[in-house]
């Protein structure tokens, strides 16, 4: 509070949603500009006409790059049920090929977690997910014979009938995949948790990607294209966006 109330022009905060709300409340008293980077469980949506090879490759990279310790890591995937089997098979096959090792080694795909505490938190989270009905597709353990805070890249199938697996970002190499029934159901599942930092929408390029996103997922604000493969990153920081298409 003292820092926010000091004679500074702008506050940039990275941390939890709860503390971020307090920072914003204090900053608003003097109309001070505040940028908040808060935790969330970032979703990706894979539609029925998506390029499965492209989507699975991008999501494996987005989920496990830097051992999942990125603020915009993909943590949940909602995939149309008609292609879910092929998509999960592709994701698991590519995930199993990832090479664990020293993060400074250029041959390494996935390095260690940052601390023992984070490793134990990951183990606890994965066990809790399995106890709640999550089906382990690969990973879910420390790799045998490796010293350090390593955890195998983990993929878990999650039923659409279960509540969202996590409301806070785990910061770990763990990916949940949930089959959905149509675009409206996918948006509903993506919006199950309170706040997400980013959403990742994957589909083939039919004309302009923004128009495509507006037509199929029209409730997400401020969509912008990030590459030529029709991958659209959609800002979901505004709280309260819910499915208007179902």
The string of pLDDT tens digits covering residues 198-216 is 555 544 332 233 333 444 4
Alpha-carbon distance values, 183 to 55, 57, 150 (Å): 16, 21, 36
- List residues with catalytic annotation: 37, 71
What's the pLDDT band for 68 if we cut at 50, 70, 90? very high
Sequence-distant (≥ 6) Cβ neighbours of residue 56 within 8 angstroms: 87, 90, 91, 94
Strands ordered across the beta sheet of 224-225: 135-138, 154-157, 174-180, 76-80, 43-46, 198-202, 231-235, 224-225
Find, among 242, 161, 219, 167, the residue nearest to 197 by Cα: 167
Q: What is the spatial distance between Cα 86 and Cα 47, in angstroms, rounded to a whole number?
A: 12
pLDDT at 123: 97
The string of pLDDT tens digits covering residues 217-241 is 443 433 333 333 333 333 333 323 3
Q: Determine the 3-state secondary structure of 184 from DSSP.
A: helix
Q: Are 171 and 69 in contact (CB under 8 A)?
A: yes
The string of pLDDT tens digits covering residues 80-136 is 999 999 999 999 999 999 999 999 999 999 999 999 999 999 999 999 999 999 999
Find, among 94, 60, 37, the residue nearest to 237 by Cα: 37
Does the predicted model carry a pTM greater than 0.85?
Answer: no
Using left for φ > 0, alpha for ψ between -120 and 50, and beta otherwise, residue 8 falls in beta
Question: Which segment of 75-79, 162-166, 192-196 scores lowest on mean pLDDT?
Answer: 192-196
pLDDT at 223: 33
Q: Are 128 and 99 in contact (CB under 8 A)?
A: no
Q: Structure tokens of 155?
A: 């993929």
- Alpha helix locations (H) across the chain? 2-5, 17-29, 52-64, 81-96, 116-131, 182-190, 209-216
pLDDT at 182: 82
Q: Rounded to the nearest 5°, which phi and psi values hold at 13?
A: -125, 135
């Amino acid at each position: 509070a003292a820092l926010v109330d000091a004679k500074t022009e702008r506050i940039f905060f990275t941390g939890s949603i709860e503390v971020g709300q307090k920072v914003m409340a204090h900053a608003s008293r003097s109309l001070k500009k505040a940028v908040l980077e808060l935790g969330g469980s970032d979703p990706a949506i894979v539609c029925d006409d998506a390029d499965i090879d492209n989507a699975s490759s991008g999501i494996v990279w987005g989920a496990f790059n830097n051992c999942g310790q990125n603020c915009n890591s993909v943590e949940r995937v909602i995939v149309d049920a008609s292609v879910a089997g092929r998509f999960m098979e592709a994701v698991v096959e590519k995930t199993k090929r990832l090479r664990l090792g020293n993060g400074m080694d250029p041959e390494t795909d996935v390095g260690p977690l940052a601390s023992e505490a984070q490793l134990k938190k990951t183990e606890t989270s994965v066990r809790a997910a399995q106890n709640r009905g999550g089906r382990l597709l690969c990973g879910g353990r420390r790799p045998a014979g490796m010293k350090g805070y390593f955890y195998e890249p983990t993929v878990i199938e999650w039923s659409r009938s279960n509540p969202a697996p996590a409301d806070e970002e785990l910061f770990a190499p763990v990916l949940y995949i949930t089959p959905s029934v149509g675009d409206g159901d996918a948006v509903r599942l993506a919006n199950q948790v309170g706040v997400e930092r980013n959403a990742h929408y994957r589909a083939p390029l039919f004309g302009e990607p923004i128009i495509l996103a507006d037509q199929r997922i029209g409730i997400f604000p401020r969509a912008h294209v990030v590459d030529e493969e029709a991958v659209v990153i959609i800002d979901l920081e505004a709280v309260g966006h819910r499915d208007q298409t179902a």
